[in-house]
Structure 1
């Protein structure tokens, strides 16, 4: 399965979700490669920080911030159970290439009307990609949700009847994610029983259960 985390809006937590999704699957014995397709290279920076700290390598991180991604990612998938693409913000060529590479697109959004409006351009690109890849699956994922906030509940209700639909699993606004970014660790390594680790585990399980088409050769 090739999963691409994409949104035209920056700052929605794509890299954090990509890293922890890859880590959750790797911890279950899956072979995982994370593709850093963001020119900022934040996932590569995290991987280098992890190496400096002497932490065990859990999954490979490859930098592929170029618009040939749709041709190269399937090659990576031959030697992996899962390929996770950390997509770029507002780079149309790269975004289209990631869409053509993916079996499943995850669109992270925060519980805010502004995030909903910013997703319109992303959905237009998704519709365009489905002309060539009609089997391409997609889901919204609610990220950085405040506990029991009205806004988070209203955002989930708004997306409930949307296409693409919203995942049941949500990720909270957790200090643990900031600590993991600084240390090159996963939240499950910092606190295996903490809420952040439990939320990511539930998200990984739900995503793995989504039926997806195969990527184009």
Structure 2
């Protein structure tokens, strides 16, 4: 399966979710490659930091920030169980290529009306991609949210009947994700039984169910 995390808006947590999704699949014994399709190369930076810390490699990471991604990602997918694409912000040609490669597009959004509005261009690109790939699935992922706040509940309710729908699993606003990014680790390595780890496990399980 090829999963692409995409949103034209920056700062919504695409890289964090991509790394943790890949990491959880790797923990479950799956062969995973993460494609860093963001010219900023944040996932590659995380991998470099991990190497400096002399931590074991959990999954492969390659940089592929070019619009031939739709041809190259399926080739990579032949040798692994899952490919996770960390998509770019504000580079429409790369996003189109990622969508043409993907089986599932995840659109991370923070629980704010502004994030919902800012995702509009991404949703247009998904609809364009479905002309060529009608089987392409898509879901919103609520990220960096305090689940018990009124605005989080309101955004989740607003997206309940939306196309694409929102995943039942959401990811909280947690300092541990920043610590993980800084140290080349994953939340589960820092706090094996913590709430962030449980949220990532639930998210990964829900994504796997969609793919069946």
TM-score (ref. length: structure 2): 0.99
Q: Indicate conservation of the 8 Å contact 2:144/2:173, yes or no.
A: yes
Summarize deviations over 1:107-142 as a string: whole Å, max 9, x none. Answer: 000000000100111111110000000000000000
Q: Secondary structure at the match of 1:98?
A: helix
Partner secondary structure for residue 210 of structure 1: helix
Are residue 172 (structure 1) and residue 146 (structure 2) matched? no
Give the aligned partner of residue 144 of structure 1. 144
SS at the partner of 2:18? helix
- Match of 2:119, SS? helix
Residue in 2 that maps onto 1:215: none
Which residue does the alignment assign to 1:57?
57
CA separation in 2, counterparts of 1:122 and 1:96? Answer: 9
Name the CA distance, whole Å, in 1 between partners of 2:151 and 2:48. 36
Q: Which residue of 2 aligns with 1:85?
A: 85
Q: Deviations over 1:126-159 (max 9, x none)?
A: 1000000000000000000014000100000000
In the comparison of the two structures, how many residue pairs are matched? Answer: 212
Distance (whole Å) between structure 2 residues aligned to residue 145 and residue 24 of structure 1: 20
2:93 aligned counterpart, secondary structure: helix
Q: For 1:193-212, what per-residue CA distance to the aligned partner results, in whole angstroms no more than 9, with x for missing partners?
A: 00001100100010011036
> 1:1-217 maps to which residues of 2 (within 5 A)?
1-211=1-211
- Shift of residue 60, structure 1, vs aligned partner: 0.2
The root-mean-square deviation of aligned C-alpha atoms, in Å, is: 0.7
- Counterpart-to-counterpart distance in 2, 1:179 and 1:198: 17
Please give the secondary structure, in 2, of the residue aligned with 1:88: coil
Separation in 2 of the partners of 1:137 and 1:25? 19
The secondary structure found in structure 2 opposite 1:204 is helix
Q: Which SS does the other structure have where 2:211 is aligned?
A: coil
Q: CA deviation at 1:72?
A: 0.2
